[in-house]
Structure 1
Amino acid sequence: MAGSELVEITSSQYRVDIDLVYATANNFAGRPVYAQARCALRPEAAACLLHAARAAYRAGYRLKVFDAYRPPRAQQIFWALCPDPRYIADASQGSNHTRGVAVDVTLMDAHGKPLDMGTGFDAMEDLSHHDRDDLPQQVQRNRCLLLGIMLQAGFCSIATEWWHYELPDSKSYALLDDSVVTAVPE
């Protein structure tokens, strides 16, 4: 993408399914927040995603991407809807998604069916936290499998969202306002 610090993530090149839920009304905002469904990351994060996708594929799975780079205006919309720093970064501080170094993913089986992770993507509740003893063993196993794939690929996790992974030292990357993805005007 000429003039951008981001690289576009495509299904064919990265062997991932892409379902950018914020480009649809099927998200916690209840409306499209992104004007287009383009998936992008900084090159360092894209390389880790490719590594994770290859590892998932070797194990008989496929990654599904829900979110990657997020424009600042979208972060403002999310913060206004859910000003809870456990789940949404304060828009005035910036998000690691807005830095282009965070990705939200799940695992699908060989038939394209998402694995049961115990909650849906963007379920902003305690059951979405990684360290839960009250979830079925299969859900625990699925979360551990995703966590292992993403960690070995070079990402780190956050405690409150089983789907969210980011580069270590994410805050060392500058916030971006890249037109590759834009927010829907209100």
Structure 2
Amino acid sequence: MKVAIDVTMHLAAEYQKELKERPLRTKALTSASMGICGEILAHVLKKKPIYTVSLRRVLAFGVFGGAITGPLMHFWYGVLEQVRTRDDKSLTPMQKLFLDRLVLTPPFVALTIFALGVLNGASVQAARSNVRATYFSTLFMNWRVWTFTQWLSFNFIPPQFRVLWGNAVAVWWNCYLSMLSA
């Protein structure tokens, strides 16, 4: 047990070091890894043999996480920390939550559905059609799952760990998206 704790502590220290030295790369790689984990978990939960996992789907979730989600969230959280109110104060956690849920989320959900469709081999027209067919149900599910998650994030998670926190929850969210797009 001590070895497991020591290894965990070492990995956590290395992660923090990488986060401090190369925050964008670290968050992108973490998001890619969690996207891959979510896709594989969805496959396992569907009770399909692991050897039938689609490499294309796994890579699609990994590429989307690494190229879009990780970098976008890195910059988004940075913007939320920099925005000032009229009286030159930082935004409150509730103001950040409001902006996150109503400004970022609607277009990000559409982008997610569209990009994952294209990355999975759908035509642009088919991906657009899928956005039209699934957008509102996915957006409403996002608001159900992520509003509380983001409330916790803005109230209790230090800014440098918000992408990591989101990635931990995103394993399950990616699993949901994978099952939706199967």
TM-score, scaled to structure 2: 0.31
Q: Which has the higher strand share?
A: 1
TM-score, scaled to structure 1: 0.31
For the pair shown, the structure with the greater C-alpha radius of gyration is: 2
Q: Which has the higher helix share?
A: 2
